[in-house]
Amino acid sequence: MKSSSVSLFLMVDACGWEIIKDQPFLQKVAPHRHKLRSVFGYSSACVPSIVSGNWPDQHENWCYFIFDPENSPFRSLRWLRFLPKKLTGRRIVRRLLTKIAKWKLGFEGYFDLYNIPFQHIHLYDFTEKKSPLRPGGMNCGTNIFDVLQERNVPHFGSNPDVTEEENLSAVLSELKEGEIEFAFVYWAGLDGLLHRVGNDAPEIPEKLEHYESWIREVYDTASRSYENVDLYVFSDHGMANCDKHLDLAALIETLPLQFGRDYNVVYDSTMARFWFSSDEARELIAARLESVEDGRILTNAELRELRVPVEKDRFGELIFLASEGVLIVPSHMGERPIRAMHGYHPDDPQSYAALLTNVPALPCEVEAIPHIHRLMLDSINGTGMNKISKTNQYDDSNRKAGLEAIAQ
């Protein structure tokens, strides 16, 4: 039997509030716009937070690489250190090696070797071995796909292993049949473009127009098959242009310390996360970082406030965060500069995410990206506002009745 209602949750990676706030993007089909606080971290933290409704200190999906030689799955890759860096440093070679390693290791989530040096790769573990976009994919707890599966809700979920166009075609096919009640679509192309060209390049409005045409096609297709269509278009974070570069590794390597003996570190694009073998190493590195003007050491109190999993030092004993617009390069994420990056403090202007919807009054408080999960649960429970009112056009009596229904 066909459903009369469908909820569409369409995620456009890196479509931040500052990027769309002055753009005509989706103003007709999703005119109600909300600025959302992101979570501290990269997409490795943001996406799990959205699909689970939890924060990183609850689901424990935060940064990808951590220092953990005892549990490292990468010992078999150490032989790659004998290959010339001129070869292994090329992005096309790294991508090929990533595909082979992912298949061999049986990883189901997002995986990239990035710029981790092969002579040290045996010191690291990777934290996203499962896919948070599938049932059972969280490090801790459940996600929306577990709920959909448990309740036998007919739904569509993006396949991260195929192209954006293939996922678009697949969801359109499902909507034409009119038998699903929920769809989650994840498009990551804008994120990659922003990294390459920055957030004020002329290519960005063009890319937004491209996504708008897709979203209108999804919405129009759903509207022909369903009486009620709730549309939610959202992002996980924004993107800041990187106008300054910081070679943090060069500053640390001038100290009388040896990597692998006195300390270990992961240099992310906006963070450096350290583990220490001695108090002396901690003191020397902390003193050096304190002298860096383009960032600061985050205290444990700040990290707890940001909901970072810090209790076991799994993700780092000391965490340095660059100022917005400063790119740590070279890093373990890349050898060469890129135009823009995310992963700064959630309160920095370019960090904020966005939510665009055709629902005039949201059925619950949504201020940060983990709260999107509440909207998903409400849609599954049948308490989405459009489902209550039976129309996308509100008068005051309909809106009041809908809110009273939710309160009960």
The CA distance from 368 to 50, in Å, is 9
For residue 397 the two structure tokens come to 């009596």
* Average pLDDT over every residue of 171-178: 97
Where does the pLDDT of residue 397 fall: very low under 50, low under 70, confident under 90, or very high at 90 and above?
A: very low
The CA distance from 312 to 65, in Å, is 15
- Give the model confidence (pLDDT) of 178-190 as tens digits: 999 999 999 999 9
Q: What are phi and psi of 400, to 5 degrees?
A: -65, -40
Tokens 């991260």 sit on residue? 160
Residue spans per domain, the chain: 5-57+131-238+348-407, 65-126, 243-337
- On whether the pTM is more than 0.85, the answer is yes
Mean pLDDT taken over the chain: 91
Q: Give the containing element (helix H, strand E) for 402.
A: helix 396-407
The CATH number that domain 243-337 falls under is 3.30.1360.180
- Give the model confidence (pLDDT) of 41-71 as tens digits: 999 999 999 999 999 999 999 999 999 999 9
Cα dist from 176 to 21, 153, 183, whole Å = 32, 17, 13
Looking at CATH, the fold of the domain delimited by 5-57+131-238+348-407 is given as Alkaline Phosphatase, subunit A (3.40.720)
DSSP assignment letter at 369: G
pLDDT of 120 strictly over 50: yes
Where does the pLDDT of residue 402 fall: very low under 50, low under 70, confident under 90, or very high at 90 and above?
A: very low
Helices and strands: H and E segment counts in the chain: 15, 16
Relative to beta strand 182-187, strand 271-276 is unpaired
User: How much is the pLDDT for 401?
Assistant: 34
User: Higher model confidence: residue 76 or residue 316?
Assistant: 316
SS (H, E, C) 38-85: CCCCCHHHHHHHHHHCCCHHHHCCCCCEEECHHHCCCHHHHHHHHCCH
Q: What are phi and psi of 128, to 5 degrees?
A: -110, 75
User: How much is the pLDDT for 383?
Assistant: 59
Alpha helices in 267-316 (DSSP H): 279-290, 300-305
User: How much is the pLDDT for 94?
Assistant: 86
User: How much is the pLDDT for 384?
Assistant: 54
Q: DSSP of 83-143, one letter per residue?
A: S-HHHHTSHHHHHHHHHHHHHHHT--S----TT--TTTGGGEEES--S-TTSTT--SSS--
pLDDT of 1 strictly over 70: no
Where does the pLDDT of residue 392 fall: very low under 50, low under 70, confident under 90, or very high at 90 and above?
A: very low
Query: Is 243-337 in the same CATH topology as 5-57+131-238+348-407?
Result: no
The percent of residues above 90 in pLDDT, for the chain, comes to 83
Length of the chain: 408
Amino acid making up residue 260: G
The CA distance from 123 to 71, in Å, is 9
pLDDT of 382 strictly over 90: no
Hey, is 199 helix, strand or coil?
Answer: coil
